[in-house]
Amino acid sequence: MSKFTDRLWRELERGHGAELEQMSRPAPKRRRRPQLLLGSTVALAGVGTTLALVLGAASSSPAFAVTRNHDGTITVRIMRTSGIAGANARLAALGVRARAVPVLAGCSAPTLTPVRLGSLRDQAVVARALLAARQAARKGVLNARIDPRKIPAGRVLVFEAKRAAVMVHAAAGQAVAELPPACLAQGSPPCAVPSKVASGNTGNSGATGDSGATVGAPAACKNEPPPSSLTGNTGNSGATGNSG
């Protein structure tokens, strides 16, 4: 080392040493090659579909994986029910308005608001999504690819995640307009008459929806707020990548 480089290092250490000490040593971030889902991107949110997917039995593999793909889509894989909270936290950290919600027998929360699928194109998207989900379910995992840009403003995409035998169940649900409940009841009928959501319910920043604090809250039977209410939470910034 020369005098210049030694001196430069001392200055760097003085200026950034404390900050660097707080960090952990960078390690290669786990990267899964996103599975090619049948059809194309599962643009679930655009049509508001709820999927109930089969979760496999426990294994030694990671419980979940949330991967940002090069095309801006997000791949969510949940291998065990214990991975739901982690996957939701990761989605929240990425600013993606999508949540997996477990389906539990004793859950008192109502099911999600049903939606009528409008166009043939929407129906085709749903069909592709379901096909992809079925494929994934055979492997015992929840596997979905989401395009966050296609989630309508003011909506939260909800995946029903339940551990079942074989079937992939598709409910004619809707990407909800409020904080998703912490759980969904098994087999409960959809809400008959949606009502308005309080305008103050604008949050989808992760903590509440993931924590289980809203168990039993009748959030999912309410109508959607104005579309602008969640638009502040659309960014997907800063997850990966080396700067420079």
Partner 1 sequence: MIGSSRDTNLATSDSALAAFEEIYRRNVDVVMAYFARRCAEPQTVADLTSETFVRAAGAFASFDPGRGSARAWLFGIAAHVYAGHCRQTADGRDAAARLAGRRALETDEIDELAARIDAERAGRELIERCSQLPALERAAVELVDLAGLTPKEAAAALGVSRVVLRKRLSRARSRLRKEHHSDE
Q: At residue 123, what are phi and psi to the nearest 5 degrees?
A: -65, -35
CA gyration radius for the chain?
A: 20
Tokens of 100: 């997996």
Q: Are 186 and 107 in contact (CB under 8 A)?
A: yes
Query: CA–CA distance from 164 to each of 44, 86, 94, 116, 159 (Å)?
Result: 22, 21, 29, 26, 15
By C-beta, is 8 or 58 nearer to partner 1? 8
What order of strands is seen across the sheet that includes strand 50-54? Answer: 169-171, 50-54, 157-162, 98-104, 184-185
15 binds partner 1 (CB under 8 A): yes
**Minimum CB distance to partner 1 smaller for 4 or for 189:** 4
Measured distance CA(85)–CA(106) in Å, rounded: 18
Bridge partners, residue 52, by sequence: 160, 169
* Residue range at the interface with partner 1 (CB under 8 A); choices 20-28, 127-135, 207-215, 219-227: 20-28
72 belongs to the binding site for partner 1 (CB under 8 A): no
Site for partner 1 in 29-48 (CB under 8 A): 29, 31
Contact map string, positions 182 to 221, toward partner 1, x by CB under 8 A: ----------------------------------------
By CB under 8 A, what part of segment 117-156 binds partner 1? none
Minimum gap (Å) between residue 98 Cβ and partner 1: 24
DSSP 3-state of 54? strand
With contacts defined by CB under 8 A, name the span among 17-25, 72-80, 185-193, 208-216 that binds partner 1: 17-25
* Residue whose structure tokens are 């995409």: 157
Cβ atoms of 106 and 23 within 8 Å: the answer is no
Asked whether position 12 contacts partner 1 by CB under 8 A, the answer is yes
Please tell me whether residue 71 binds partner 1 under the rule CB under 8 A.
no
Does residue number 237 form part of the binding site for partner 1 (CB under 8 A)? no
Q: Which residues bind partner 1 (CB under 8 A)?
A: 1-5, 7-9, 11-13, 15-17, 19-29, 31, 238, 240-244
